[in-house]
């Protein structure tokens, strides 16, 4: 499986657009900066919603009002963050797919998506019964805690991708090579 992923990354890396983006003096920096800025916007909004559900912020404001007001800027931020994240991968695909931090981040993003779906489903089904309460019901608070935890680790992993001391080009323990997807003799940065 790692070799298949590696070969796909090499194919992407060999495209002229990937090379131009990675070697661009300004564009890569603009994409990365936009990714970080929209991450702050979207996660800032999400964290406020999660903190409200936990009863740690704005306990006197109805939960549905907070969610309604912050949902649009949060989704705009997530959309731009998603697009710029794909562009960052597109610029450096081989190093990305062979990064243990990138792989952990991708697994956690799937967890974040599932948690967000269940969180919104549960909230929309039951918000009328607890909207003005200081805290949401336990199931929704559990989802808020998972959201805060997952996204915190996603951000940490994102930072570690840039400063990866587990690069496949260096000798690593077998477990790290397996998890990072290192393909013997085929390291390209």
Give the Cα separation of 64 and 82 in Å (integer): 25
Q: What local confidence, expressed as pLDDT, does residue 187 receive?
A: 52
For residue 170, what pLDDT band results from cuts at 50, 70 and 90?
confident
Of the candidate ranges 92-96, 114-118, 141-145, 182-186, the one whose mean pLDDT is the lowest = 182-186
Cβ-contact 13, 188 below 8 angstroms:
yes
Report residue 54 CA to chain centroid gap: 22
The tokens 């808020």 sit on which residue? 144
Of the candidate ranges 1-10, 100-109, 110-119, 148-157, the one whose mean pLDDT is the lowest = 1-10
Percentage above 70 pLDDT, the chain = 97
Mean pLDDT for the stretch of residues 145-173: 90
Cβ-contact 113, 21 below 8 angstroms:
no
- Any idea where the domains of the chain sit in the sequence? 2-180
The tokens 């929704």 sit on which residue? 140
Cβ-contact 99, 180 below 8 angstroms:
yes
Identify the three-state secondary structure at position 127.
helix
Cβ-contact 150, 181 below 8 angstroms:
no
What is the sign, positive or negative, of the torsion defined by CA atoms of 181, 185, 186, 189? positive
Flag whether pLDDT at 186 surpasses 80. no
- When the pLDDT of each residue in the chain is averaged and rounded to a whole number, the result is 92
């Amino acid at each position: 499986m790692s070799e298949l992923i590696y070969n796909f990354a090499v194919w992407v890396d060999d495209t002229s657009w990937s090379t131009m983006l990675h070697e661009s003096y300004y564009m890569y920096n603009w994409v990365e900066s936009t990714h970080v800025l929209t991450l702050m916007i979207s996660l800032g909004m999400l964290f406020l919603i999660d903190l409200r559900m936990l009863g740690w912020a704005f306990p006197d404001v109805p939960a549905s009002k907070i969610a309604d007001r912050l949902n649009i800027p949060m989704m705009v931020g997530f959309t731009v963050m998603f697009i710029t994240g794909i562009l960052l991968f597109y610029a450096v695909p081989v190093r990305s797919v062979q990064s243990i931090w990138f792989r952990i981040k991708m697994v956690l993003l799937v967890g974040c998506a599932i948690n967000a779906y269940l969180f919104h489903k549960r909230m929309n089904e039951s918000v009328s019964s607890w909207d003005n309460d200081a805290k949401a019901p336990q199931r929704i608070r559990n989802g808020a805690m998972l959201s805060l935890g997952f996204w915190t680790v996603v951000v940490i992993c994102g930072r570690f991708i840039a400063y990866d001391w587990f690069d496949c080009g260096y000798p690593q323990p077998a477990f790290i090579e397996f998890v990072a997807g290192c393909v013997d003799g085929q390291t390209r940065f």
